Structures are given as C-alpha cells and as structure tokens.
Structure 1
Amino acid sequence: MERRNLLRAAVLGGSAAVFGGTLWRGAAYAAPAQPGTGPYGPLGSPDANGIRLPSGFTSRVIARSGQRVSGTSHTWHNAPDGGACFADGTGWIYVSNSEISSTGGAGAVKFSSSGTITGAYRILSNTNRNCAGGATPWNTWLSCEEVSLGYVYETDPWGTNAAIRRDAMGRFNHEAAAADPVRKVIYLTEDESNGRFYRFVPTTWGNLSSGTLQVMVAGSGTSGSFTWANVPDPDGSPTATRSQVSGSKSFNGGEGCHYANDTVWFTTKGDNRVWQLNLTSNTYELAYDDSLVNGTAPLTGVDNITGASSGDLFVAEDGGNMEICVITPDDVVASFLRIDGQSSSEITGPAFSPDGTRLYFSSQRGTTGSSSGGITYEVRGPFRA
C-alpha cells in the first residue's frame, strides 16, 4: 500500500478535496500498516483542553454545542459530526454536520487569513441524523443522512444558496462521500453491518440532479479485483439498495471516505479496517486491519478519515481511546493526538485548512457524554507537506 509521493497539492485555489501530484506507485496487496514511530513523535501531557499532542502542536476550542460561537450570534449545533474545509479568498470555512434526529442539518464557521473567527451560521436545517459527507470540486458540501432511506443534501458552505436534496444519489443509510474528478464520480459509504460501497455517476459532472447509482461488485476476500454494477432502484424501496445486485460486496459498517490520486480509502467500523481501492487497476486491498497488527493496535474504533498533502491519512476513532491516528505512506500507523476525559464520546469531522497547517475536528459528546456537550477543536502545528 505504498503511498509515497501520493499527494503534493492540497486544496489550493478551491476548497474541495481535489489533489494533484505523482501517482500511487506501490506494489499491489502490500501488507496492511503496522505500528511504528510516527512522523510527529510521542504524545505529550494533556494541554488545557485535555488534548495530548506531539511537540510543537497547540489546540484551541472553536465552538461548543448550545453556546454561541465566539464573536458571533450563532449557537453551535449539538452532536457535531462530519466536516470539511473550503477556501474563502484569503481565509476559509469549516462546515460541520449535526447528527441529531429530525433537526440535524449542518453549520459553518468562517475564518480570516489569520485564523480569527469572522462568522458562523447554519447551512442546512431540519434534516435527519446528518453524520458524515464530503466536499465537491465545485465547492459544495454533501451532507448525508445516517438513517434508513436517508438522503444526500447538497449545501452551500457560504450559506447563500438553499440546500438541495439529491434524490438520484440513492436512499440508504448514508455515511460519507468523496469526489473523484478524474472518473467524475462520487463515492458513497453505507453504515450497515452488511452495507455496500457505491459510486454515483452524474449525467453531467458538476450537476448532481441526475445520474446513475452503482455498487461495487467483488469477491468475499480482503483483496482482489472489482467492478461496478448499476443499482436498479436507487430509491431503496421496496428492496434496499444493498440487496439489489447479486455479487455486490458486503462491508461491515461503512464510515469515512477519502479520495486522492486515483485511490479511494474508506473505513469500516465493524471490523476496524481501512480499505484501499486502486482505481487505475480496479483492485482493492487492506490499508489497515487491527486484527493483523503485530502487538497492540494503536487504532481501534476506526471511523472518519481524511488526508494531508504529505500523503498521510488521518483516521479518527469512535471509541478506542479517543485518538486521531496517522497512517503514513510507509505503512506505519501511530497516534497523532488523544483526548483525555471524554471516553463516552467519539472524534468526528477531521479536516485540514486549505494551507494544511490546521486540523479541525470535534468530540461529538465532549466531557458530558451527551449530544448537547459537543466540542469542536482546531489543532495547529508543523504538519509535514
């Protein structure tokens, strides 16, 4: 799973996760990542926010559920979940879902070039358990409902245009989305114990109003080749989308999804795995599996995932010991940060600022263990390019 030189340009001049650089060039079916010394060194003592960070990194609280975002009149939503950053002139915007039934939606925080908060507002309201999602190359946020027969909503991070429900992207227990500008598709995960991995092929790239929903077809193993098949009834009724195509591959609890340079990674929480699809060869393999780790697995509760311009993958834990772990291009997995005193929560929404120097994420239930106790953080430091 060699990813050296995978990413060399991150979110510049636009805000979606569209990456350039040299192509993935490792041997197929390499061994999954193993524990080792990470690129940032050991974690230090908890800081004032209860976060253990490597030397040179600092944290600050951006927002708390039920409280006004500093310097604004906007009250931050409960249960903050999936997120992404969007370039905004010299500054940027961080969007965050709300995994609350019936009134979920999504909110946004706007930053100046110095990182000062300049605004906060709602971009989606009155939707259902908005869990994860993904950014598009045309600067919109896809907010996904994690319910049976859930929808995808396309939203405006600037809060100017009304959100649009994208029915053609299928109705199922949506989790995350990742845009692939090369093949002009959107990948989608499904949070079911027998969920599937999908892609949506728009009729016109940049317009999600119509298109074809497809599902991954492959064998039962952890590596091999795959193809795509059309889902006959994307509305999921009367037969669930995951049950419509014979030979479609089952995944145990699809979670985060990330695309870069002809590769898409996605996580499955039911078996603590990170899967890798090599899109030029149409092959798949394991990038990480905690059951295959030599010794103690540093990454458990595998959940949201994002990538840095260095090619490092950052994987957040739902449970585990409340860490974000890094998987390097050399297939080393190590702890990057840990939140102390919040064992009844989960880490959600990891996303880098456009310049790659700040990492945003949330503790969904904070110190209280309740959805009303969510905390959204920023970590700043010498992330490697």
Structure 2
Amino acid sequence: MSRSSSARPGALAAPPGGRRATASAIRHTAADGPLWRAVLAAARPHSRNGPYGPLRAPDENGIAVPEGFTVRVIARSGYKTAGVVWHSAPDGGACFPDGDEWIYVSNSETSLLGGVTAIRFAPDGTARGAYRILSGTSFNGVGCATPWHTWLSGEAIPGGRIFECDPYGTAAAMPRLSMGRLTHSSLACDPDRRVVYLTEDEPDGCFYRFVPDEWGDLTSGTLEVLVTAPAGAGPIVWRRVPNPAGLIEPVRSQVPGARRFERPAGCHFADGVCRFVTADGLVWSYDAVHHRLEATSDAASLIPALVGDTGELFVAGDGMTIDVLTADGTAAPFLRVTGHDSSAITGLAFSPDGRHLYFSSQRGAAGPASGTGGVTYAVSGPFGRIGRG
C-alpha cells in the first residue's frame, strides 16, 4: 500500500481509491465471539428451517449446509496455502476489498509464533496469493478492521500490544503502544467520535477508549479508562491513563476508581452505542452520545439493534455451528461442523461481494492437543437471495 505524502512517520495511509468493494448492496454480515453467542442464545428458534432451508447431510469435510451452498478448505494449519504456511489456531478475521479482488486476514492465537496471515482472492473466489502481515507476536485473538482499511491485531497476554497491519502487504506492521499494553480482549472503532474502544481480558477488566491525535493515524493519542463514582453512583467519566506503554505499573492500575467488569469481551460499536458482554452474563451498552452506561441480562432485546438493516446476521454459536439471526429475533441453523468436538468456530467474515463466507475451525478435529489442527473454510452460495422459509 502506497503511503500518502502527508502521512506522519509510522502512519499507515488509507488505500487508494481503487480499493473498494465491487458490491454495495450486501444485506447480510457475520460475527463471532462472546457478545454474539450471548445474543444468539437469547434468540427464538425459527419455527421452520430458516431462510435457506434444512441442512443437508455432512459433506466430505464433515460440514452440513443447506441446498445450493458449497464448502471448501482454503487453508490448514502447518500446510502451505498459496506458497505460505498457514498459521496455528486461526482466530479473528476480516475481508478487505481491492478492486474486483479481496483479501482475507486471519489472526493466530498461539504463543510466540502468532501474528496475522493474509490470503488474496481472485474475482472467482480462488486463492491467488498469501503472505504474512505480522509475525513474532503471541496470542493474537482480538482484531478489528479500521475505516481506512487496516487491521488492528491485539495480543491477549499481560502487557500485550496492538499492532496496526496492512492487509495489502505493502507496509510493515506497526505497534501502537499509545493504545495501551494490556491483556487485550476486543476492539471496536467509532468513526463518529473518532475513537477506538477496547476491553481487557482480566477477571476484573476495564473498559477503555483511545483518542488518536489525528483520526486515521494511530501513531499517537490519548488512552482513557472508564471511571464511575464510588459504589457505581454518579456520572460516567473518562480519565487519561498516564503511561499506556508502561510495564512496571500495569495500565489497569494507573487510574484510581477505574470501573471494573467481570472479564469484559466482545466489543461492538453501531449507531452511537458500544456494547460488550461480561462473564456474569450481562451485556453492557455505552451510549457514546449521551455518556450513559446500562446493563441488561435480556440479550434478546438487543437483537433488532445489532442486526439492524443488514437483513441477516450469521453468528457462530457455542457448538460447532453457524446460525442465521434475523431482526425479528429468530435464529435458524445454517452450518454445522461434525467431528471437531474440541474446537471453536472463529474468524467469520464475508467477501465484499457477499458471495463467500470465511470461517475457521480453530483447533480442527485434533482439538487443543494438536498445534496444527486448525482449518479455514470458504462457504459459497446464494446468500441473501433465497425467499424466506
């Protein structure tokens, strides 16, 4: 990716104008993680087979999908894909447009050999190249695509870093230490207020926001942590973290009165609200417009807001399944992986044209005992084009 002449040193410039999606009317999206599993668990089962009909018998890969859809393996951990060895424990992922082609990036949630790998796809959906965009990091689980088409990958370890990566493989990945060294759990961009929200994977984790000095450039800025008055009373305020890159005094201990949550995760921003789920079963909503924080145990009440006008939301469940969730609060099975009982579905993302859904079985059939069991798939078919069942 070529750098803008006005970009500051270390900044990753926005992609050229040609790097745009080729389809702009996609009526579905995909997500995985704790927040989405909580919402899916609260949904009502569909009265019939859902919008795409019943699942067929599992194919040669042990995957069941409705009629009209096909599944193919695009990468296996420890094996070469388009000339590059695919990483272990594939986790968070996203797709980035590049003219009539696109790129799928995938985190690696493993120690020391983590990082991010990218695969470039031709217009017909075939892989035509792969490359590493981040190496030498650990437990990269959390990820977030920025509005300027870079990928933020965070380490889920104490003192972990956020790296800003170039999906197009031109610029080197850059550590964003001003965003905080902590056990990163999830990230979400708020383009309206020009901030990035972060949650912390600790039993008593905090909720942060990073305010860059210049939107589109995460080189420098201010990290703030959410603070409440004693006993939870009073207004919500944000306070600056004095030393976000510090390791001697942990980031989470630098601001007295920082609000604590029970292992916050699953950060998502839409329509002025940032939501995240906690291990005690609550879904928290931070209203960034009115500076209010509310919690609910009724995740089903959030379905219309989360699905929104996308029409359909494809969500990874607790088992090896992907369900389709609609704004009316119903869910139906779309995909089931058999024989991967000790794995998890990760990295859901649609190609820009909406014709291909990517996901991984993080540990594969071998489970956690194998470091190279992960498998990444592409599901292709008539998404959003079938009448409701």
Tell me the TM-score normalized by structure 2: 0.77
1:34 counterpart residue number: 43
> What SS does structure 1 have at the residue aligned with 2:310?
coil
Query: 1:364 and 1:166, CA in 2 relative to 1: closer, same or farther beyond 3 A?
Result: same
In structure 2, the CA distance between the partners of 1:334 and 1:228, relative to structure 1 (3 Å rule), is farther
If you compute each CA radius of gyration, which structure gives the higher value, 1 or 2? 2
1:164 partnered with 2:162: no
Preserved contact between residue 275 and residue 286 of structure 1 (Cα < 8 Å): yes
SS at match of 1:97: strand
Q: CA RMSD in A?
A: 3.4
Please say if residues 252 and 271 of structure 1, whose CA atoms lie closer than 8 Å, have aligned partners that are also in contact.
yes
1:148 equivalent in alignment to 2:148: no
239, 243, 247: which is aligned to 1:233? 243
Task: Tell me by how many angstroms 1:88 deviates.
Answer: 1.0
Q: Deviations over 1:308-342 (max 9, x none)?
A: 9615444434xx32223444333334444322111
Are positions 1:265 and 2:275 aligned together? yes
Runs of 4+ residues deviating >6 angstroms = 18-21, 219-222, 306-309
**Paired residues of 2:26 and 2:353 also in contact (CA < 8 A):** no
Map residues 48-87 of structure 1 onto 2, 5 A cutoff. Answer: 48-69=60-81, 72-87=82-97
Structure 1: distance between partners of 2:237 and 2:207: 11
Give how far 1:240 is off.
Answer: 2.9
The one-letter code of the counterpart of 1:353 is S
Aligned to 2:371: 371
Superposed CA deviations along residues 274-329 of structure 1, whole A, max 9, x for unmatched, are: 54444334344567768x89xxxxxxxxxxxx979615444434xx3222344433
Distance 1:137 1:233 in 2: 27
Q: 1:101 to 1:89 in 2, by over 3 A?
A: same
Matches for 1:110-149 after TM superposition, within 5 Å: 110-149=120-159
Q: Distance in 2 between matches of 1:333 and 1:216?
A: 34
Q: Which runs of 5+ in 1 are unaligned?
A: 1-11, 22-31, 294-305
Shift of 1:213: 1.0
Change (3 A) 1:278 1:311: farther
Question: 1:352 corresponds to which residue?
Answer: 350
> What TM-score does the superposition give when structure 1 sets the normalisation length?
0.78
Amino acid at match of 2:261: F
Q: Aligned partner of 1:120: which letter?
A: A
Deviation digits for residues 95-124 of structure 1 (CA, Å, limit 9, x no counterpart): 011112112111001001111111011111
Q: Counterpart of 1:36 in structure 2: which amino acid?
A: P
Structure 2 counterpart of 1:321, one-letter code = G
More deviation, 250-259/56-65: 250-259
Alignment of 1:222-371 (within 5 A): 226-268=236-278, 270-271=279-280, 274-285=283-294, 310=310, 312-317=312-317, 320-369=318-367, 370-371=370-371
Could you tell me which amino acid in structure 2 is paired with residue 374 of structure 1? G
- C-alpha displacement of 1:225: 7.7
Contact 1:132 1:175 in 2 (8 A): yes
- % of aligned pairs identical? 51
Instruction: Flag the 1:307–1:266 CA change in 2: closer, same or farther, 3 A.
Output: farther
Distance 1:221 1:114 in 2: 57
Q: Is the 8 A contact 2:236 2:291 kept in 1?
A: yes
Q: Give the residue type in structure 1 aligned to 2:376.
A: T
Say if 2:308 and 2:327, in contact at 8 Å, map to a contact too. no
Assess, with a 3 A threshold, how the Cα gap between structure 1 residues 209 and 335 changes in structure 2: closer, same or farther.
same
1:265 and 1:311 map into 2 onto residues whose CA distance is 20
1:366 Cα offset (Å): 0.4
